[in-house]
Each structure stands twice: as C-alpha cells, then as structure tokens.
Amino acid sequence: MEIREVAVVGLGTMGAGIAEVFARAGIGVVAIEADPQALLAGLGTLDASLARAVNRGRLDARQQADIRARVRPAAAFADAAAADLAIEVVPERLEVKRQIFAELDRVCSPDAILATNTSSLSVTTIAAASRYPGRVVGMHFFNPAPVMGLVEVVATVLSDDRVPAAAADLARRLGKTPIQVADRAGFIANALLLPYLNHAAGLLETGYATAVDIDRAATVGIGLPMGPLALLDLIGLDTSLSILEVLHAEFNLPRYSPAPLLRRLVSAGRTGRKAGRGIYRYPAAVPDGVEETAGADLAPDTVTVIGAGDDQEAELASALAAAGLNVTRNAAHPTELVLIVAESGKPVLPAALAAGRATEAVGLHLPGGLGNGALVELIATSLTSEQAMRAATALAGRLGMTIVRAPDRPGFLVGALLYPHLADAVRMVQDGYASPADIDTAMTLGCGYPRGLFELIDEAGAADVLAGLRAMYIAYGYPALAPPPLLAEHAAAGIDFAVAPPGKPATAGAGARRTGSAR
Ligand SMILES: NC(=O)c1ccc[n+]([C@@H]2O[C@H](COP(=O)([O-])OP(=O)(O)OC[C@H]3O[C@@H](n4cnc5c(N)ncnc54)[C@H](O)[C@@H]3O)[C@@H](O)[C@H]2O)c1
C-alpha cells in the first residue's frame, strides 16, 4: 500500500510532532484541528522545530520550506478524503476518538488505513465502532515524536493482516522502529514503565527512601536517564494516574493499583512539572548532591571493614586506607565505625550482631563496584545509630561516591526498584505478549533506557535476579514479587535471554547458553 498523503487529526503535543515526522519523510499532511488556536499553536511548534533543525545544520532552508509546504491545514474533515492513512491524535477520551472515527469513516476511502495514537484506550473498542474495523490499527508514537525512535503498531482481533504490516512499513519509512503488538492495555512500554514508576511512588510514600535517593538509585545505580519520581513529574501525575487506572482495570493486579500518594497529589493540583509542583518543586529548590558535602568533617579516622572475604572487601579496605584511614578487618579492634560489605539478598543485621558492634555498624552495598561517582547504598539496620550513619555518609563522600540510604530489606534500594521491574518484563514474555528483543527495543527507543531490561537481566545473571526477587517475595509476600517461572527456568538452565541477532526473532527459552556458571 502506497502512503502518499495522510490526515493528522489533532495538532496538540503529539499531533504536531507526528505531522512533522510525516512531512519530513516526504508525505503530504492534511492537519485537522477542532480549535483554531490549537491549530496555530501546533503549526508554531512545527515551525519552531524545523527552525531548530536549520540552526543546527540538520536541514537547509530549501528542505525546511519543502517540509513546511507539505503540511496543509484543513478547512473541514472532508479534506481528509484523499488521505491514504488518517491518524487521530486527539485527547485520550473514548467518546471523542469514536466521534473522530465516525467522521473519518464518512469521508475517507474504504481502503484508507485509520490509525489511533492512543496510549491506553482499547484499539479494539475504537475499531469496533468503525464501519470497516479491519482497517483500524494503533500507531503509538512517543513524545517527542520527531525524536523518539519507537512506534508500537497495535493490531486488534479485527485487523486485516495487511493493515498492521502496512503501518509497520510506514513507520520504517519514517525512520522509526516499529514493534507489532496485540491490543493489551499499555502495550509494551507503558505497561512496563508505569508500574515501575508507581512502585517508586510507593517506596517514597512508605518512607522506604527519600525522593532524591530513589531517583539517584535509578540514575546512578541503574544508569537510567531520569529517576522515576522526576519522570512522574515530567509525564504528569494526572496522566500517570489515568494510565495506571486503565492498567489496573485490565490486569487487576496490585502492582498497577495507583499509590495513594499519586491520587492525593493529583487531587491537590500538584500534577508535576506543568503545575510547578508535583513530587518535587519546580524550578528545583535544592541542587542535587548538596547534603553529601555537608558534614565531611564527621568522617571517622578508624574503621573496621567486615565482608565475605572477597575482592570487594579487600578493594574497599585499600581504598579507605588510601584515603588516610586506619583500617582493620578485626571486629575486636576498637574503631569509630564498622562497615559491613553487604551482599545482595542478604540482610546486614546478622553480620552486625555477629561482630558484636551493631550500633556502630552500617551496611555498605556497591551495586556497580567501587569508583569515583559510583553508587553506594548505605544500609541502616534497626540497631544502627544516627552517628554511625553520619560517619559512614561522610566517609563515602570522602571516597567520592554517590550515596543513597536504604533500609536493611531485600534489594536495598536499587534492587527494590529494579527486580520487580525486571520481573514484569519476564512475565510479559512468559504471557506470550512480547519477545525479549521487542521489550528491549520498546524500553530503549520508547523510554530512552540506555540498555534493555533483558540486557540488564543477562548482565546481572538470571540467578542473581531470581535470588533478589525471591528474597523480596519471602519478606513481603506480594504476588507481584513472586519470581516468574520463566526466570527460574533461565536461572536453573544457566541461559541468557540474549536478544537474538537481527533477522532471527528471540523467543522465550531460546536464549544463548551462558559461558561459565550462572552467577
Ligand atoms: N503527550 C504524550 O506524551 C503522549 C504520548 C503518546 C501518546 N499520546 C496520546 O496522543 C493523544 C493526544 O495526546 P496529546 O498529549 O497530544 O494531547 P493534546 O491535548 O496536547 O492535543 C490534542 C489536540 O486534539 C485537538 N482536538 C480535540 N478534539 C478534536 C476534534 N474533535 N477534532 C480535531 N482536533 C481535536 C485539541 O484541540 C488538541 O490540540 C492521546 O491519545 C494520548 O494518549 C500522548
């Protein structure tokens, strides 16, 4: 199917970007707006984006003019008559979308494809209202559309086979990577992202960790471009809440049940960045990292390091000695602070009690190893004194590490955020909804993750992720933390999820055998 002209209905945040993407690919765009002001604003967004590209040397004036000339504001819906594809990008309300589809049914040729950019409504429900449901498909672009490389192409049980295939071809022509999925709430990216964000809000609400520490654990500890709480503020707590409600209605699992904090903040009008206040205040009141430098003079001179006798313990002891501390590994020697090198999945308290110095003992977990700027999780047990925590903070600051504080619970902070997120991804594969390769593509190209979730699992080792989840499940008993059998199978077999090379679809259980044993 050749797509020469498209109609874009709704020129708001997403529609303006989508119109630009089509026009840049040489496709004529008829822009349909209900609100003349919104039309002007949308065209203004498009003009500003093209002007930026010219300033950066990515387009010349001629290309800019050609692209702009391809976008034609429509006087009426009837102007969509010649479109080979029409995409609706109107607000996320089913009745509005159905109305648009009724109009498009009336004016478009029966061969034209009708697409929806919905994030969370059922494409099937929208399609069922169309006169020709076989031609309806979801084309879910990500914000900002000209930048983000992913399009989730959503087929329904009513779709003609050629329609999702044509939408995927079109996405490729636009320079995007399509992934084809069935119609399920949240598709891939939102169904994985939102429960992770919700869980982070829950950790904040229950006092598990501070907002800054939660975000820092995600950015410095996991390597994500943004912390989950800052991301909630950016997406909008109201938008996040409504997507979670849709996910919860579809799956009825506690992980999608919105954290009460989100509802409270939304009712209070604290909807995030756009409102100047959400979880954080905007512009940010306190520069990140200030508290580390304060109190550096509290750093102790003598410290005991206790660990499993492995390389990490030795490395920490020598780094501390190099920083001028008097270091011993004998718990009987009197020192100002006891650092217990914590292992993922193992509580710190038993080691602190065994050392006979529980009030002076602080757990120290290094998810990415030692190094300047690397993350250190400082773990207070129920017996750790405030003074010991302050001393450990000052010490880690002296080593130049990025500090977060976590309770002595399974996963500490990085694992508490990450393991359930990874389990959701494995469950999605186990459900037969998506392949590890598609999930990694969705999270990297749609959400800007530097590495996919399966890449992260393979890097940590399925056995480690399984042990972390199992410890969390035993501690809390929440069904969402129950390790998915597929993860246990990979851990037992010692195989990676190894995303297959291009052209060879990765399937569950078909991962590469690990070299060496499962970690
Ligand atoms: N904002 C995002 O980050 C994002 C990301 C992916 C998908 N989406 C989805 O894209 C869709 C649009 O979201 P948005 O953020 O661009 O919304 P928006 O409110 O910024 O824009 C919607 C536009 O549609 C116009 N409109 C309303 N009714 C209309 C009608 N009957 N005919 C023509 N135009 C009409 C409005 O005037 C407005 O300009 C939603 O389905 C949303 O879920 C949004």
Span 55-95, pLDDT tens digits = 999 999 999 999 999 999 998 999 999 999 999 999 999 99
In which element (H, E) is residue 230 found? helix 228-235
Catalytic residue among 49, 119, 122, 240: 119
pLDDT reading at 516 higher than 70:
no
Tens digits of residue pLDDT in 409-428: 999 999 999 999 999 999 99
| Catalytic residue check, 421 | no
Asked if 337 and 388 count as a contact pair (C-beta separation under 8 A), the reply is yes
- What's the average model confidence in pLDDT over 310-338? 92
In this prediction the pTM is 0.93
Q: Is 33 in the pocket of ligand 1 (CB under 6 A)?
A: yes
Select from 11, 184, 180 the least CA-distant residue to 87. Answer: 11
| Residue 210: Cβ within 10 Å count | 16
Sequence-distant (≥ 6) Cβ neighbours of residue 419 within 8 angstroms? 411, 465, 468, 469, 472, 481
Which amino acid residue places its CA nearest to atom 31 of ligand 1? 34
Q: What is the pLDDT of residue 372?
A: 84
Cβ(473)–Cβ(485) under 8 Å? no
Dist. CA 416–CA 472, nearest whole Å:
8
Q: Give the whole-number percent of the chain exceeding pLDDT 90.
A: 87
| Residue 497 structure tokens | 């999820």
pLDDT at 110 over 50: yes
Task: Give the number of the atom of ligand 1 that is nearest the alpha carbon of residue 15.
Answer: 16
Q: Are 331 and 356 in contact (CB under 8 A)?
A: yes
State how far the alpha carbon of 93 is from the alpha carbons of 90, 97, 126, 143, 251, in Å. 8, 6, 11, 18, 20
Residue among 453, 457, 458 nearest 440 (CA): 453
pLDDT at 287 over 90: no
- Cβ-based neighbours of 512, under 8 Å, separated by 6 or more: 495, 496, 498
The span from the CA of 197 to the CA of 209, in Å, is: 14
pLDDT at position 173 is 98
Whether 506 lines ligand 1, by a CB cut-off of 6 Å, is no
pLDDT at 512 over 60: no
pLDDT of residue 295: 57
Q: Indicate whether residue 446 lines ligand 1 (CB < 6 A).
A: no
| pLDDT reported for residue 511 | 47
pLDDT at 308: 83
Q: Whose CA is nearest to atom 29 of ligand 1?
A: 34
* pLDDT computed for residue 514 by the predictor: 46
**pLDDT score of 327 more than 80:** yes
pLDDT at 441 over 90: yes
Query: Which pLDDT band, with edges at 50, 70 and 90, does 383 fall under?
Result: very high
119 noted as active-site residue: yes
Atom of ligand 1 nearest to the CA of 116: 41
**pLDDT at 299 > cutoff 90:** no
Pocket of ligand 1 contains residue 150 by CB under 6 Å: no
- Give distance in angstroms: CA of 385 to centre of ligand 1: 52
Establish whether residue 91 lines the binding site of ligand 1, counting it when its CB lies within 6 angstroms of any ligand atom: yes
Residue 504 has pLDDT above 60, yes or no: no
- Regarding the beta carbon of 151 and ligand 1, being less than 6 Å apart is answered no
Taking the CA of residue 38 as reference, the ligand 1 atom at the shortest distance is 39
Which pLDDT score is estimated for 296? 59
DSSP-derived secondary structure letter, 446: I
Q: What is the mean pLDDT of the chain?
A: 92
Whether 190 sits among the annotated catalytic residues: the reply is: yes
Segments of 249-295 assigned E as strands? none
Q: How far is CA 281 from the centre of its chain?
A: 21
Band of residue 501 on the pLDDT scale cut at 50, 70, 90:
very low
pLDDT digits (tens, 9 = 90+) for 214-252: 999 999 999 999 999 999 999 999 999 999 999 999 999
**pLDDT per residue over 124-178, tens digit each?**
999 998 999 999 999 999 999 999 999 999 999 999 999 999 999 999 999 999 9
Given the residues 5, 20, 33, 152, the one annotated as active site:
152
Number of CB atoms found within 10 A of residue 81's CB:
14
Does the C-beta of 7 come closer than 6 Å to ligand 1?
no
